[in-house]
Amino acid sequence: MSAYVLVINAGSSSLKYSLVDAESGEAAASGLVERIGESEGRHTHRGPQGETSTVLTASSHEEALRAAIDAFGTYGPALDQVGMVAVGHRVVHGGTYFAEPALIDDELLTRVSELISLAPLHNPANLDGMRVALRLFPDLPQVAVFDTAFHQTLPPAAHTYAVPQEWATEHGVRRYGFHGTSHAFVSAEAARMLGRPASDVNLVVLHLGNGCSATAVRGGVSVDTSMGMTPLEGLVMGTRSGDLDPAIHAHLARELGWSLDKIDHLLNFGSGLKGLAGDNDFRELSRRRAAGDERAQLAFDVYCYRIKKYIGAYYAALGTVDAIVFTAGVGEHDAAVRAASLADLDRLGITIDPDRNTASSTDARRISTDDSPVAVLVVPTNEEWQIARETVRVVEVS
Ligand code: ADP
């Protein structure tokens, strides 16, 4: 039976929504309001009649969500007729409070606002989205699904930084990890593809989108992950540096007189592929590489080498690995990244089949050779479906 959930992902200047059947994962409609608070924004709604895109100047998330509700009325499907059972919200930072999704109440909102200092770019917008939806859908249960929750199982050796321990106990300085919704979804799919219960399977999951993260999953449980206290640590990303020597902050501040805010901004928005090659879209980077562009080649090499290092580290952490799993925009579509990241790992039991790797497909698939002891899988992520499923699970038990 269908159980539709309106999934809301409120960003600082955008609001994404999707009406998802929690049973099948089918999205009956989805949409995006962009450039909220700016002089000219846009609203795109995809529904039964196809895609419509209109200019919309929304000054707040409330206006954006009202526009989304109107679009359901105008273009369908009618929200009051589909049997919508709940609203599910993506919330970036749940700190150590939330190891599971939770019903939204005043206490949850307070907790999420206490965590703003750990996620200043995301949690305020997520809070705004939740408050607005509570006002506009007062009769529906609403659930917060946290990016950090899947990683609350990290053992202390993996989540503890080697710094004075008051930093952790008094200021929350520890590894939390992100992209948890995607890692949870993809891990469950990978176990299904291997035909084994998730509790029997060890995986290295590589979420390679604009943001990138690697997770070591033992028996369905996250035991290490590359993003840290913030989503800046770990792999090279579109505009984020990932790992670097922490002394670089002090060096730049001393040598150039740059403020910490400026350095933080450049590491989040001006680094990664963009900093290395001036481009953060992999498709453009591939075109430039093919044309012999050396900056694009170096960016590609740094990106793939970092992935390979994390595969090695998590292989060692897990002891045995059943599958390496690629997901998200780059992971699902870029065969060259997959090939370079896994090159010469045959001695670790990882051998990809070049034809399977480059075959054009958008389905979940195995790209390793039949005799590769470690499977290599490409699994399209579906965070909206995962949020819808978790939302229904919380609503059913409450
Ligand atoms: P987000 O982290 O924003 O959810 P996505 O998972 O959608 O990101 O990934 C976005 C990135 O995926 C783009 O920046 C682009 O570099 C890359 N990408 C998307 N499609 C392709 C493709 N066909 N080939 C290579 N890279 C792609």
What is the domain-level CATH number for residue 132?
3.30.420.40
Banded pLDDT at 99 (limits 50, 70, 90): very high
Regarding whether 357 and 262 lie in a shared domain, the answer is: yes
Per residue in 292-318, pLDDT tens?
999 999 999 999 999 999 999 999 999
How large is the average pLDDT for residues 36-46?
A: 93
Angstrom distance (rounded) from CA 196 to CA 186: 14
2 or 87, greater pLDDT = 87
3-state secondary structure 95-161: CCCCCCCEECCHHHHHHHHHCHHHCCCCHHHHHHHHHHHHHHCCCCCEEEEECCHHHHHCCHHHHCC
> 141 and 24, same structural domain?
yes
Residue 359, domain member (yes or no): yes
pLDDT at 1 over 80: no
**Candidate from 90, 183, 186, 210 with most ligand 1 atoms within 8 A of CB, to mutate:** 210
Q: Average pLDDT in the 7-15 region?
A: 94
> What is the mean predicted confidence (pLDDT) over 343-355?
98
Q: What local confidence, expressed as pLDDT, does residue 307 receive?
A: 99
Q: Ligand 1 within 6 A of 210 CB?
A: yes
Which pLDDT belongs to residue 120?
86
Q: What is the pLDDT of residue 12?
A: 86
Q: What is the pLDDT of residue 231?
A: 94
The pLDDT score that the predictor gives to residue 343 is 98
Catalytic one of 21, 128, 147, 224: 147
Tokens 């998590």 — which residue? 314
Is 398 within the bounds of a domain? no
**What one-character-per-residue DSSP string does 327-352 give?**
EHHHHHH-HHHHHHHTTT-GGGTB-B
Q: Which residue range(s) make up the domain with 267?
A: 195-383
Asked, for residue 163, whether it belongs to a domain, the answer is no
Backbone angles phi, psi at 39, to 5 degrees: -70, -30
Ligand 1 within 6 A of CB of 328 = yes
pLDDT score at 50 = 96
Domain-embedded: residue 176: no
**Confidence (pLDDT) at 71:** 96
- What domain count does the chain have? 2
In a domain, 152, yes or no: no
Q: Tell me, what amino acid is at 220?
A: G
Task: Give me the pLDDT at residue 267, please.
Answer: 97
Kindly give the number of the ligand 1 atom that is closest to the alpha carbon of 281. Answer: 16
Is 224 catalytic? The answer is: no
pLDDT of the residue at 263:
97
| Pair (125, 200) in one structural domain | no
Mean pLDDT of the chain: 96
Question: Is residue 106 domain-shared with residue 201, that is, in the same domain?
Answer: no
At residue 125, the pLDDT reads: 95
Q: Indicate yes or no: pTM above 0.85.
A: yes
Counting ligand 1 atoms within 8 A of each CB, the residue from 236, 282, 303, 304 with the most, and so the one to mutate, is: 282
Give the model's pLDDT for residue 121: 83
User: Are 238 and 273 within 8 A, CB to CB?
Assistant: yes
- Residue 213 near residue 283, CB atoms below 8 Å: no
Residues in CB range of 225: below 8 A, 6 or more apart: 151, 154, 158, 175, 177, 178, 183, 213, 214, 215, 216, 234
- Residue 23 assigned as binding residue: no
Question: Are residue 132 and residue 243 in the same domain, yes or no?
Answer: no
Q: What is the pLDDT of residue 390?
A: 98
pLDDT value of residue 351 = 98
Is the predicted pLDDT of residue 8 greater than 80, yes or no?
yes
Regarding whether 347 and 213 lie in a shared domain, the answer is: yes
Residues 136 and 209 occupy one common structural domain? no
In which band, very low, low, confident or very high, does the pLDDT at 398 lie, cut at 50, 70 and 90? confident
Q: Whose CA is nearest to atom 20 of ligand 1?
A: 329
> What tens digit of pLDDT does each residue of 42-68 get?
999 999 999 999 999 899 999 999 999
Buried b (16+ CB within 10 A) or exposed e, 359-368: eeeeebbbbb
122 plus 206 within the same structural domain: no
Q: Which amino acid makes up residue 30?
A: S
Residue 214 has pLDDT above 90, yes or no: yes
Question: Same domain for 138 and 278?
Answer: no
Closest atom of ligand 1 to 286 CA is 25
151 lines ligand 1 (CB under 6 A): no
Render pLDDT for 177-192 as a digit per residue (tens, 0 to 9).
999 999 999 999 999 9
pLDDT digits (tens, 9 = 90+) for 241-300: 999 999 999 999 999 999 999 999 999 999 999 999 999 999 999 999 999 999 999 999
Is residue 175 assigned to a domain?
A: no
125 with 52, same domain: the answer is yes
Q: Are residues 272 and 339 in the same domain?
A: yes
Instruction: Identify the domain boundary among 86, 118, 146.
Output: 146
Residues with Cβ within 8 Å of 247's Cβ and at least 6 positions away in sequence, in order, are none
Q: Above pLDDT 90, what percent of the chain?
A: 96
Give the model confidence (pLDDT) of 229-241 as tens digits: 999 999 999 999 9
**Residues 92 and 9: beta-carbon distance below 8 Å:** no
